[in-house]
Structure 1
Amino acid sequence: MGLFTVALAGAGAVGAFFAAPVVLAGVGFTSAGIAAGSYAAGMMSAAAVANGGAVAAGSTVAVLQAAGAAGLPAAVSAVAAGVGATVGWITARLV
């Protein structure tokens, strides 16, 4: 792995940092809750049907809504996790 790969990984992390809140809001996970008629509402409905009427804590829908409600701080932790995984993978390949 070269410097170019590391630069691309860093650029991807920065892009994800700024895109995450926009993408979450775009699919319906907003700071005010799940938007009616959105993709997120469909996900929530399917999760509720599968779980007997409730959305399970820690499920994908619950985590995405928490991130949508938190906005940028949730995006920061997600990007930090992604960068850490990428750096670990690159380091393992170089050693």
Structure 2
Amino acid sequence: MPPKLDQIVAAVAAVPVTLSAMGFTGAGIAASSLAAKMMSAAAVANGGGVAAGSLVATLQSVGAAGLSTSSNILLGTAGSAFGYYMGGSKKKTPPAPSDEAEEDEEDSSSGDDDPQIRPPSKKT
């Protein structure tokens, strides 16, 4: 089942909020934010500067200026599809143990054969 229109709208609306929360703001990259850490790592990896067109540069551009309508639609559709995929990949819960397994556990836990852990004796 493909993403619904309300899911796409919600994903599009979440893009600027998410970028701002990460630290990609209109005034630049916020200090001590995830964006600042990403920028630092990118600068170290590139020998001191952030490469034009890199992920950090692109996210900062989007955080500062926003996205075009076509980009909003594209990201919203991709985000909705990803959310749908992740929501549909729930694991099934394992079945409850049978009564036979419980009886076996009770029989093997008599307590007489269990090793006892003793504290080390103090030598004086």
Q: TM-score when scaled to structure 2?
A: 0.56
**Paired residue for 2:60?**
65
**Paired residue for 1:43?**
38
Q: Give per-residue Cα distances to partners, 1:24-72, cap 9 Å, x unaligned.
A: 000100000000000000000000000000100110000000000013x
Q: Determine helix, strand or coil for the equivalent of 1:21.
A: helix
Rounded Cα–Cα distance in structure 2 between residues aligned with 1:79 and 1:48:
28
Structure 1 stretches lacking a partner, 5+ long: 87-95
Instruction: Determine if the alignment matches structure 1 residue 26 to structure 2 residue 53.
Output: no
Q: CA RMSD in A?
A: 2.0
Kindly state the Cα deviation for residue 10 of structure 1 after the two structures are TM-superposed: 2.3
**Paired residue for 1:92?**
none
Matched-pair contact (CA < 8 Å) for 1:29–1:64: yes
Percentage of pairs with the same residue: 54
Higher-Rg structure is 2
Matched-pair contact (CA < 8 Å) for 1:31–1:69: yes
Kindly state the Cα deviation for residue 23 of structure 1 after the two structures are TM-superposed: 0.5
- The total of aligned residue pairs comes to 78
Rounded Cα–Cα distance in structure 2 between residues aligned with 1:75 and 1:27:
20
Matched-pair contact (CA < 8 Å) for 1:30–1:68: yes
Question: Highest relative contact order (Cα 8 Å, sep 6+), 1 or 2?
Answer: 1
Kindly state the Cα deviation for residue 18 of structure 1 after the two structures are TM-superposed: 0.9
**Paired residue for 1:76?**
69
**Paired residue for 2:49?**
54
**Paired residue for 2:11?**
16
Kindly state the Cα deviation for residue 81 of structure 1 after the two structures are TM-superposed: 2.0
More helix by share: 1
Structure 2 stretches lacking a partner, 5+ long: 82-124
